[in-house]
Amino acid sequence: MTDQELDQLSINTIRTLSIDAVQQAKSGHPGTPMALAPLVYTIWNRVMQFDPEDPIWPNRDRFVLSNGHASMLLWSVLHLTGTKAVNAEYERLGQPSVTLEDIKRFRQLDSKAPGHPEYHWVSGVETTSGPLGQGVATSVGMAIAQKWLASRYNRPGFNLFDYRIYAVCGDGCMMEGVSSEAASLAGHLGLGNVCWIYDNNHITIEGNTRITFTEDIAARFQGYGWNVLRVGDANDIERIETALQVFKRTSDRPTFIILDSHIGYGSPHKQDTAEAHGEPLGDDEVRLTKRSYGWPEDAKFLVPDGVREHFAAGIGARGAKARHQWADLFASYAVKNPELAKEIDLVQRRELPAGWDQNLPVFPADPKGIAGREASGKVLNVLAQNIPWFLGGSADLGPSNKTTLKFEGAGDFQIDNPSGKNLHFGIREHAMGAVVNGLSLSKLRPFGATFFIFSDYARPAMRLSALMELPTIFVFTHDAMGDGEDGPTHQPVEHLASLRAIPGLAVFRPGDANEVVEAYRYIVQLRHQPTVMTLSRQPLPTLDRGKYEPATGVAQGAYVLADAPGGSPELILIASGSEVSLAVDAYEQLVKEGIKARVVSMPCWDIFERQTAEYRSSVLPPSVKARVAIEQASTFGWERYVGDKGRVIGMHTFGASAPLKELQKKFGFVPDQVVAVAKEVLASVNS
């Protein structure tokens, strides 16, 4: 069999595996895998540097399937290339990542061939995708990471990091705003290491794209500063490879390849409808389609002789050679640059350098205090010096978020300075979230920042960060009503409850400067969990830790900050953030009046819920029913901590435009109001 015949046989194997998997699952999208099989085959078996034996080799090329509904493309090539599995500790397991049995159980429980690509579930998946636009936006973060890694670690004769990123996308990705944000940023930064291949098939769920999407996509990307190419036939693998080689020779700007395709190539009748609505073709259509491929009509999940061997001779041999050459290069590099080699090893295992927490600030007691954002800025500047691969920035709000890294050598990441640690995302919160995910998927320790109110714009990417179990950090300032005069458009009310609802996302709202320090101390040690820091704009009193309990209690999510004499409270005040010092003021007044009160600082619900039942009961004794929670946010969710006898002093409406002190008085966030409510609750429980 000729190489050309083996190429076509391999392409049709990808197609028929996809058709059979969707048909057996009675669910999925067969059309796009049929149309894009030649493209994905060409990327994997002819172009990409990837070793199936070691899918986390640091200098591998990355493949991102942004139109994730076509996941059978990925499951097919991961199976046919024999890509091996890796566990959460980055150990190579030797077993296949995706078996033929997984493909036969496509979209079924526990199959390694789920409905969309899932990063933490299937080895060889570089990012979870499915929400359209997220994959391509995340690929920009991967491209920034490669530039940064190369700038820090490459040396003359030692190009340790020179990989590329290939992202496949469709009309839906192009319509979603996040792709526009990310493409604009990638063009500005001249990221010549990323290529988006756009499946121009003119079909979405409601029909032909002419009803909604008629812009000149080529002109759009030329306007972004991309190199725009066109391949007029999605089945012409020679032209596809030529375009990809042009990308590899283009170093000064990203590449956008428009690939003209017809969904369900070879399926004579139902392909457009089936793809748009995610339907199987049906038995008759499957036979007709296989007949058009010259395939045995009744064969299911057939992998013909020679196909696996063809992939082994292509990507297998090429990837193994590249990886072994890299390993030899790294061994020589480690002799000449032992400290940098050690850093690279730590990065790949998501571990921290020795002394990563040295010189973290300790803030003295101060009734005037310091704003949460100011304390955060001081901590970030220490961490970024102690951890070389700790970097990040804001969506155009660095001076206000206090996230600017100001130490000597920090620099700004720009096209002419890829070693900079200050990232400037522009006013692109959604792309910022996706870029932060891409950086984290590349094993750096990134943070992204904006005002808390604008977390709404970043939320879809943050949700994916939690789904992927990435140790991303999102820093949100102006966390409540501290920017009072800006009014309700800038005062987050529902946001804490909203983000606390995301599984696995640890949302911190520290109550003073030392709680900020301890929150970061906890966060930086995480390897598989994303976090949010919500910080005040206004100064918060720095509590006297000689009088009150140490801020190290933050690591438990909640802790007893001030207690009743003898440790037997009859009333518990629970607070987070700026309301912690308010609770302390009310506590002092209650204690003077002989009421046995306790103050619990609760900076992170998620971490508190992970503690033992014994610890949780020691902080919030079940026998104490008189409880008051205080938080400048929606009361939603606090009932789990105050119970049916307690009360929540929170927000039941949006805020208002006024100076902070007036707002605090209007909405009840003053000591006298807290004391009054506490007494009412205590009286009600006692009666």
**pLDDT tens digits, 113-125:** 999 999 989 999 9
Helix, strand and coil in the chain, % to nearest 5 = 45, 15, 40
Q: Which residue has the tokens 């949302």?
A: 507
Can you tell me the distance from the alpha carbon of 558 to that of 541, in angstroms, rounded to the nearest whole number?
19
Residue 334 reports pLDDT greater than 70: yes
**pLDDT tens digits, 488-547:** 999 999 999 999 999 999 999 999 999 999 999 999 999 999 999 999 999 999 999 999
Q: Which of 404, 359, 376, 393 is nearest to 540 (CA)?
A: 376
| CA angle at 43 for the pair 95 and 102, rounded to the nearest 5° | 30
Can you tell me the distance from the alpha carbon of 282 to that of 263, in angstroms, rounded to the nearest whole number?
16
3-state secondary structure at position 682: helix
Can you tell me the distance from the alpha carbon of 562 to that of 565, in angstroms, rounded to the nearest whole number?
10
Give the model's confidence band at 270: pLDDT under 50 very low, under 70 low, under 90 confident, else very high. very low
For residue 523, what are its two tokens? Answer: 């966060």
Can you tell me the distance from the alpha carbon of 681 to that of 687, in angstroms, rounded to the nearest whole number?
10
Give the model's confidence band at 482: pLDDT under 50 very low, under 70 low, under 90 confident, else very high. confident
Query: Residue 451 in contact with residue 476, Cβ under 8 Å?
Result: yes
Dihedral class, residue 390 (left if φ above 0, else alpha if ψ from -120 to 50, else beta): beta
Same fold, 3-323 and 554-686: yes
Q: Which residue has the tokens 């196909």?
A: 307
Can you tell me the distance from the alpha carbon of 496 to that of 342, in angstroms, rounded to the nearest whole number?
39
Sign of the alpha-carbon dihedral angle for 495, 393, 153, 407: negative
pLDDT in the model for residue 272: 44
Q: Pick the residue with more confidence: 13 or 271? A: 13
3-state secondary structure at position 662: helix
pLDDT in the model for residue 274: 41
> Span 652-662, mean pLDDT?
94
Residue 271 reports pLDDT greater than 50: no
Can you tell me the distance from the alpha carbon of 473 to that of 604, in angstroms, rounded to the nearest whole number?
14
Provide the annotated active-site residues: 429
Q: Which of 447, 526, 419 is nearest to 146 (CA)?
A: 419
Q: Which residue has the tokens 């060889």?
A: 124
Query: Residue 235 in contact with residue 265, Cβ under 8 Å?
Result: yes
Q: Which fold has domain 554-686?
A: Rossmann fold (3.40.50)
| CA angle at 69 for the pair 139 and 175, rounded to the nearest 5° | 60
Give the H or E element holding residue 410: none
What ranges in 116-200 are assigned the alpha helix state H? Answer: 134-153, 171-175, 177-189
Query: Residue 532 in contact with residue 507, Cβ under 8 Å?
Result: yes
> Span 2-29, mean pLDDT?
96
What ranges in 391-483 are assigned the alpha helix state H? Answer: 398-401, 429-441, 455-468
For residue 151, what are its two tokens? Answer: 């700038």
Query: Residue 64 in contact with residue 97, Cβ under 8 Å?
Result: no
- Domain made up of 366-541: CATH architecture: 3-Layer(aba) Sandwich (3.40)
Domain 3-323 has CATH 3.30.750.24: no
Residue type, 61: D
Rounded to the nearest 5°, which phi and psi values hold at 681? -65, -45
pLDDT in the model for residue 263: 60
For residue 72, what are its two tokens? Answer: 């059978």
Give the model's confidence band at 416: pLDDT under 50 very low, under 70 low, under 90 confident, else very high. very high
pLDDT in the model for residue 278: 62
Give the H or E element holding residue 327: helix 317-336
> Span 333-351, mean pLDDT?
98
Q: Which of 194, 230, 168, 144 is nearest to 43 (CA)?
A: 168
**pLDDT tens digits, 375-405:** 999 999 999 999 999 999 999 999 999 999 9
pLDDT in the model for residue 208: 86
Can you tell me the distance from the alpha carbon of 505 to that of 494, in angstroms, rounded to the nearest whole number?
16
Q: Pick the residue with more confidence: 30 or 681? A: 681
Residue 142 reports pLDDT greater than 90: yes
Q: Pick the residue with more confidence: 270 or 376? A: 376
Can you tell me the distance from the alpha carbon of 170 to that of 259, in angstroms, rounded to the nearest whole number?
10
Q: Report the share of the chain in percent with pLDDT over 70.
A: 98
Taking all residues of the chain, what is their mean pLDDT, rounded to a whole number?
95
Lowest-confidence pick of 277-281, 367-371, 390-394, 461-465 = 277-281
Q: Which residues, other chains included, contact 349 with Cβ-Cβ below 8 Å and sequence gap of 6+?
A: 90
pLDDT in the model for residue 87: 86
Give the model's confidence band at 275: pLDDT under 50 very low, under 70 low, under 90 confident, else very high. very low
Instruction: Based on DSSP, count helices (H) and strands (E) in the chain, helices before strands.
Output: 26, 22
Give the C-alpha distances (Å, rounded to integers) separating 436 from 88, 500, 520. 20, 20, 17
pLDDT in the model for residue 264: 52
Sign of the alpha-carbon dihedral angle for 497, 501, 502, 506: positive
Residue 612 reports pLDDT greater than 60: yes
Can you tell me the distance from the alpha carbon of 339 to that of 333, in angstroms, rounded to the nearest whole number?
10
Give the model's confidence band at 204: pLDDT under 50 very low, under 70 low, under 90 confident, else very high. confident
pLDDT in the model for residue 276: 45
Q: Pick the residue with more confidence: 218 or 278? A: 218
Q: pTM score, two decimals?
A: 0.96
In the chain, the largest separation of any two C-alpha atoms, in whole Å, equals 93
> What DSSP line would sit under 607-654, residue for residue?
HHHTS-HHHHHHHS-TT---EEEEEEEE-TTTHHHHTTT-EEEEESS-
For residue 623, what are its two tokens? Answer: 């026998």
Lowest-confidence pick of 60-64, 260-264, 444-448, 499-503 = 260-264
Query: Residue 73 in contact with residue 138, Cβ under 8 Å?
Result: no
Query: Residue 313 in contact with residue 7, Cβ under 8 Å?
Result: no
pLDDT in the model for residue 201: 85
pLDDT in the model for residue 160: 98
Where along the chain do its domains lie?
3-323, 366-541, 554-686
Query: What's the distance, Cα to Cα, between the start and end of the chain in Å?
Result: 90
**pLDDT tens digits, 563-585:** 998 889 999 999 999 999 999 99
Can you tell me the distance from the alpha carbon of 139 to that of 256, in angstroms, rounded to the nearest whole number?
13
